Structure 1
Amino acid sequence: MHPSTPTITAQPSRPPPPPSPDKPPQTFLDLITSVLSLLLVSSLTVRSFIGRWQVIRTKLTSLQSSLSLLSDSPHWSQNPLLHTLLPSLLSTLQRLQSLSHQCTLSSFPGGKLLFQSDLDIASSSLSNHLHDLDLLLKSGVLHQSNAIVLSHPGPSSDKEELAFFVRDLFTRLQIGGVEFKKKALDSLIQILNDDEKSASLVAEEGSVGCLISLLDSHNERSIQEQAVLAVSILASGSDEARKTVFEEGGLGPLLRILDTGSMLLKEKAAIAIEVITAEPENGWAISAYGGVSLLIEACRSGSEATQTYAVGAIRNVAVVEDIKMALAEEGAVPVLVHLLVSGASAAQEKAAHCMAILASSGEYFRMLIIQEKGLQRLMDVIQSMPSSDTIEHVMRAISSLSVSDSTARILSSSTLFITRLSEFTKEGSLILQQISVSLLASLSISDGNKRAISGCVASLVKLMEVPKPAGIQEAATAALVSLLTVRSNRKELVRDEKSVMKLVQMLDPKRELVSKRFPVMVVVAVLTGGSGECRKRLLDAGAYQHLQRLEEMEVAGAKKAVQRLAGNKLKNIFSRTWRE
């Protein structure tokens, strides 16, 4: 009997070692093509995990098509991204070849579970390579000579050259390693800074979602910093770019950076957040991401720059009804009051604007502001002479707070405040003038303070002729009538020839710029007290004839004004007759 022949177990062939990475790309492509051909055949003969191999075979077929398109591209071998992509792809295919051999023999030394895991990992790697190849092919960069890749387009570059440059940058961001990403981000930031029109093109041609993914903390810090800066500049560049950043989910990662990032990252993130929330339709998302408390904390403890942008974002979302209550509950009001007096000038303006929005939103918010000594802080800001824009917001807030009787009493008794109202009426912007005259008309000002601000009488007469904004003529008239309850102010008005002429011209029925009841109200107020000097000045200026016509037109108050002027006119006639 012959001795038994020993059984020989076939061992899976080991894949040959990969060529050196510095070999030409063509060498790798040839090897990949060879291994791929073998895999397509061996994937049909496997006896285990057949379902998984059917999926892998579909991917291998797609890879075959992609490689064909790659080799047809005229400048594919010059693209530096392939210097890392092709060796990695070859390694994955060689691993799959080894695994297919094991499945053909149904040999799993480490067990089926471990083998299944290895097979899934290799399949996933193949999917990633297919994705990267697809990106390269779709970008069109393989059809361009590498000589212009990453060369910054000059001022004379056309839109197509710029678009190609952008596509190349985003291809490198998605496929390349750390150094590729850094260089691509540098170039992206440069082009966004150099050309203000480039933001829309980047939003259109680039994969903004890929850029936003680089904001995650698991990325290298230098890449994350560059990505935050790029997103910030991009979002600020155009409405289209801002919309794209928001729609690609940029707000959530930016808020996370505002919460946990470095000081520099927080500042850049705050810039982008303020820009994104400037679009009213985006404001609701702050609450959805839990961003209200993060913005308040950034205002409380952030750097000066972070505070300025964060309070700007709060101002943007304060108009959203649901967020207003969250701002109150999370303690935004004391933070805003603090920034109003201690923040940078830009932060002061935005804090004042936000307080004006909240103060106009109902009694609850007005009570919170007053409880936090907000009224006194607002009055202090007026005396410190900040920018005109800040004063306008402060005055809006004060005007809203003044609906409270207790607040109105405080304002009415402050000579400094009343004096500032007079100054704003004379020298402020049109909006500031309107707010100021409205307050002068509504507050109960003492006679002493009315005499102290007699210098604004002429300005009030001028404002009676201003058609816009709506309501300013009526407010100026009411404020003037209030000041004219003091005799010295009535004399102040009639001694100003220009003011008298303006008033009489406003009485002329032919002039339709001003409602006639307004100048009539002022004439009646001027004639209160029976001053002969006031009557004489108005008569000499020609007021009587206009008032007679207005009486015939049944304008309110015209009859009373005519009677007062006529009585004086008859007295003058009798006086002249007696002397004669």
Structure 2
Amino acid sequence: MHPATVPPPQPATAPPSPSESLEEITQLLSHLLPSTLSITCFASRWQVLRSKLASLKSLLSEISDSPHWSENPLLPPLLPALLSTLRRVQTLCQHCSDASFSRGKLLMQSDLDMAAGWLSKQINDLELLLRSGVLHQSTAIVLSRPNPSSSKEELTFFIKDLFTRLQIGGLEFKRKGLESLIQLLSEDDKSAALVAKEGNVSCLISLLDLNAHDSLRELAVHAVSLLVSAGDLPRKIVFEEGALGSLLRIIECSSAPIKEKAAMAVESITADADNAWAISAYGGVPILIELCKSGSLTSQAHAIGAIRNVCPVEDIRVALAEEGAVPVLIQLLASGSASAQGKAANCISILASTSEYFRNLLLQEKGLQRLLHLFHECPTADTLEHVLSAICSLSASDTSYRVLSGSTMFIIRIAELIKHGNLRLQHISASLLAKLSITDSNKIAIAGCMGSLLKLMESVKPDAMQEVATKALVSLLSVKANRKELVRDEKNLIRLVQMLDSKNDVVSKKFPVAVVAAIMAGGSQGCRKKLIAAGVYGHLQRLAEMDVAGAKKALHRLSGNRLTSIFSRTWRE
């Protein structure tokens, strides 16, 4: 027997080029369109198919007129699928034209509807390519970020091409598109507004769906988190496209890294007060509270930030109380990161300022003790502001008021902040000092902050700073030793006289007048001499003539001797 003859290997058939595929599709369409005119069965369905075939022919003609269409990497993968669909339509056309064909009516109807659906999807992809303008570029598109000197037009094209890939590309195209988008937003957050305007954000949001591919969903969450944190316009558009619900579902059932990015996005979205209500609509309150309890430190910080953003909404505050948020907030003061501690304190401040109900809840969970402990640990300035603000809000409770008024350590610390803290810390500290009932011994212990309070009386901002600084200073001046201490410093006298000057319109004159009245409340001759020597008397006379509140009373105290002042005060009383 002769050995079997092995045939020589045949060369692999090279796939048709894009031009060849387009030509074959065009020829097939030219044959199909007139062939469908003679079909009488299933007339309405064939009318729909004819309309789609005509639209397809027009689109292909427009594509072929684009000088560089074949260089775009997104188009070639579409052509084989389109050719397959047209061949299927051709087969259906032949069957419907053959009177002897006996296929079931319902099955044929189903096949025709499926063919129409495939054509719709492929037509939509081709329209998207044409609308994006990516087929008119002179070179093949490479997904690399334009350099910083690129024009707005170049960046816009890059964004459109990127989102085109997200909509009609395969898995790898979508993955690379998302990576490029993340790179763009990471390196240039100013591009976010252009991305939101020129990109198809709804397509990006669709990739957040739990049914989307895991790798795409993770990249999409990262991109969305960068987009919403970059400005008001991107945040508004992302919210309006319905991203919040998807992000909350991701927090509920995804891995830790994805939860962190999703929580970051939710915090950014809820930073817009107009979006806060939607947390309840999507059932987000228990999801965020659970993340505060069991998430990573980063997730906790973003989750509590989102809760902080939405707790001004009354309905959400009710939900927070019902879902047990208060103990979680207090726990974060002890175990959270510095960022989470500050946001938790801020949230507590908001809740405590709304009602006695929340103040009682917070006190029951030892909220004041936790806040005071954190306050004395000297955290960052930002955290310290929120902690002190929360303490200030809780001080509206009688229990807290008594505790804070009797705490020498706390009183001394806020006096130090009045002297050395930033303007916000000085304002909150002065507010507390003005409202608390402090013992004379503690007032003497913090006399060193009086000069700083006098200086704060000149501050235009924040609002009410001049008033609270004056009230705090007047409170300290109820002690004789402090009155003498204040006028002993020549810088204090100079500053007080400058504020009393009627030409100085920075400070409302009632405030320095109240300080003079407080200094002279005891009728000290030594204080009187120093004030008169500094020039206070003349300024008070002018202010009394101008009917400035309290000026006449302060002038009377300053002008009379001690015995006369006592008799006058007794007579007035």
Alpha-carbon distance in 2 for matches of 1:156, 1:478: 56
Q: How does 1:476-491 map to 2 (within 5 A)?
A: 476-491=469-484
Alpha-carbon distance in 2 for matches of 1:199, 1:393: 30
Partner letter of residue 214 of structure 1? L
C-alpha displacement at 1:546, in angstroms? 4.0
C-alpha displacement at 1:409, in angstroms? 0.7
Partner letter of residue 165 of structure 1? F
Q: Residue 454 of structure 1 contacts residue 489 of structure 1 at CA under 8 Å; is this kept in 2?
A: yes
Q: Residue 342 of structure 2 contacts residue 382 of structure 2 at CA under 8 Å; is this kept in 1?
A: yes
Aligned counterpart for 1:91 among listed residues 80, 84, 90:
84
Aligned counterpart for 1:527 among listed residues 510, 520, 544:
520
**1:278 matched to which residue of 2?**
271
Alpha-carbon distance in 2 for matches of 1:211, 1:560: 69
Alpha-carbon distance in 1 for matches of 2:337, 2:152: 41
Aligned counterpart for 2:252 among listed residues 240, 252, 259:
259
C-alpha displacement at 1:60, in angstroms? 0.9
**2:223 matched to which residue of 1?**
230
Q: Residue 68 of structure 2 contacts residue 137 of structure 2 at CA under 8 Å; is this kept in 1?
A: yes
1:405 and 2:375 are equivalent in the alignment: no
Aligned counterpart for 2:556 among listed residues 562, 566, 578:
562
Alpha-carbon distance in 1 for matches of 2:325, 2:14: 58
Alpha-carbon distance in 2 for matches of 1:545, 1:64: 95
Alpha-carbon distance in 1 for matches of 2:390, 2:83: 68
Summarize the Cα distance change of 1:551–1:97 in structure 2 as closer, same or farther, 3 Å threshold: closer
Summarize the Cα distance change of 1:246–1:534 in structure 2 as closer, same or farther, 3 Å threshold: same
Q: How does 1:97-246 map to 2 (within 5 A)?
A: 97-105=90-98, 111-246=104-239
Partner letter of residue 402 of structure 2? R
**2:534 matched to which residue of 1?**
541
Summarize the Cα distance change of 1:111–1:141 in structure 2 as closer, same or farther, 3 Å threshold: same
Partner letter of residue 304 of structure 1? L
Partner letter of residue 26 of structure 1? S
C-alpha displacement at 1:42, in angstroms? 3.3
Alpha-carbon distance in 1 for matches of 2:17, 2:498: 91
Partner letter of residue 61 of structure 1? A
Alpha-carbon distance in 2 for matches of 1:162, 1:339: 43
TM-score (normalizing by structure 2): 0.89
Alpha-carbon distance in 1 for matches of 2:539, 2:511: 14
Summarize the Cα distance change of 1:50–1:509 in structure 2 as closer, same or farther, 3 Å threshold: closer
Alpha-carbon distance in 1 for matches of 2:149, 2:419: 52
Partner letter of residue 150 of structure 2? S
What CA RMSD, in Å, does the superposition of the two structures yield over aligned residues?
2.6
Q: For 1:197, what is the secondary structure of its paired residue?
A: helix
Alpha-carbon distance in 2 for matches of 1:76, 1:269: 38
Alpha-carbon distance in 1 for matches of 2:449, 2:65: 82
**1:341 matched to which residue of 2?**
334
Alpha-carbon distance in 1 for matches of 2:14, 2:165: 19
**2:432 matched to which residue of 1?**
439
Q: Residue 327 of structure 2 contacts residue 365 of structure 2 at CA under 8 Å; is this kept in 1?
A: yes
C-alpha displacement at 1:34, in angstroms? 2.8
Q: Residue 520 of structure 2 contacts residue 528 of structure 2 at CA under 8 Å; is this kept in 1?
A: yes
Summarize the Cα distance change of 1:546–1:58 in structure 2 as closer, same or farther, 3 Å threshold: closer
Aligned counterpart for 1:462 among listed residues 455, 458, 466:
455
Alpha-carbon distance in 2 for matches of 1:111, 1:221: 41
- Percent identity for Structure 1 against Structure 2: 60
**2:356 matched to which residue of 1?**
363
Residue ranges of structure 2 left out of the alignment (5+ in a row): 1-11, 566-573
Alpha-carbon distance in 1 for matches of 2:408, 2:134: 72
Partner letter of residue 519 of structure 1? P
**1:421 matched to which residue of 2?**
414
What whole-Å deviation, never above 9, does each CA across 1:389-413 have from its counterpart, x for those lacking one? 2222222222222122222111111
**1:576 matched to which residue of 2?**
none
Summarize the Cα distance change of 1:244–1:21 in structure 2 as closer, same or farther, 3 Å threshold: farther
Q: How does 1:446-457 map to 2 (within 5 A)?
A: 446-457=439-450
C-alpha displacement at 1:229, in angstroms? 1.4
What whole-Å deviation, never above 9, does each CA across 1:83-104 have from its counterpart, x for those lacking one? 2211111111111222222223
